[in-house]
Amino acid sequence: MSQQAKWIERAKAVLPAGGFGNFDHSVIIKEGKGSRVWDEDGNEYVDYLIGSGPMLLGHSDPEVLDAVYSQLGKGMTFFANNAAGIELAEVIVDAIPCAEQVRYVTSGGEADMYAIRLARAYTGRNKILKFEGGYHGMSAEAQMSLAPQVLANFPQAVPDSAGIPQSVAEQMLIAPFNDIESVRALLDEHESEVAAIIAEPLQRVVPPGLGFLKALRDECSKRSIVLIFDEIVTGFRLAYGGAQQAYNVVPDICTLGKVIGGGFPIAAISGREVIMKHFDKEMVGQDKFLMQLGTLSGNPIASVAGLKTLEILRRDDSYARLHASGKKLMNMMSDALTNADHEHQIIGHESLFDVVFTKRPISDYRSYQQADANKNAVFNTLLRKNGVFKSPAKLYPSLALTDEDMAHTQHAIVTAADSLEKHMQALRESN
């Protein structure tokens, strides 16, 4: 039995479904360095999963490691303020257009949960409008219409998890992404009840339509509704100032994660001071105070890793290199699939994208679901067999990519594209 098979059997004995609840449980990663990862059997991959996004510099960046090593001997966490956490907050406020103040948590899902609660505290309203297919973590509100198997009529919320009370669904309004007229209709009916609209500015890999984000901004401003951008993925990835810089639309609150910890657990809620003051009991009083604390919030290890990561991203050519690599990957994937006569399109942004096997326009969750998911899964499997490691529905370029990585990736893509129809035919025959 291989080393990987042994670990898989051990995992099945102690972990529900044999995994952590994250990526494919049949892969046990042993090591990551730069742009590469190795599994327990020694198989090597060019890594485009990169920890689901946070390793924008690649694995074990030497400058980040030096910063972490320098802190380790001084303490790992204190449950108290520390200079590195304060400095990281200063850097975030300087970088992110909406950020006037910052409050730390340890995961993106936690940040989104508190952002929703903060909007309710600020407005005194309860309802939240989210977009079908939008991912905002694991809170009860976030698990409404994340990936519904049964498509309900809008604005009905469909829970994607057991254990969520029906009362949560009653406080959620669900709209199709990129459909501002649907949003306006819902707000016309429920305006006095809506605390916030929460959106991924780039929803998974579906880009916002021309003017959509600005229209959301205008509607929220007009109706005194809080606009929340979930920038857990897009923050410091699409641009140094996040999607709000890239799309030139500034929300009231944004959530940040992934990159700001350089691979360590930290996330943040950031926003306008008038809203963020609800974390301060002396400013707002007991009735409007939002209690929030966490053992590892703002811990110095994650903070120094984040500070060094953001320092590297501020260097002159970082984003130019990242976007150039992403554009090259998008083109090589499209060219290979076109040459092999596969209907497809590449959607997303140079720093975060994927292929969908359909020519129909993709604007929201339902149109995305019309693509050929089986073909996408087979294509991803073929890429992995040829040494390319990626998420089922995303490809994350990193700054660690080399010319050798790009050549390896191109060979893997061409090989996968050329053999894709044969494997699809075998799948059809087996069914």
- Quick one: which of 262, 246, 243 has its CA closest to 254? 243
Helices 300-313 & 318-339 angle (0-180, nearest 10): 80
Whole-angstrom distance, CA of residue 254 vs CA of residue 242: 10
Tell me how many degrees the CA angle 99-233-144 measures, rounded to the nearest 5.
100
- Quick one: which of 222, 220, 249, 224 has its CA closest to 234? 249
Is 258 considered catalytic here? yes
> Which are the contacts of 330, defined by CB distance < 8 A and separation ≥ 6?
346, 350, 353
| Given the residues 39, 112, 230, 364, the one annotated as active site | 230
* Runs of H (alpha helix) within 96-136: 108-123
| Given the residues 104, 122, 135, 365, the one annotated as active site | 135
- Quick one: which of 89, 139, 121 has its CA closest to 268? 89
| Given the residues 258, 277, 308, 390, the one annotated as active site | 258
Is 418 considered catalytic here? no
Whole-angstrom distance, CA of residue 363 vs CA of residue 428: 28
Radius of gyration of the chain (CA): 22
Whole-angstrom distance, CA of residue 330 vs CA of residue 257: 25
Bridge partners (DSSP) listed for residue 196: 128, 226
| Residues annotated as part of the active site | 135, 230, 258
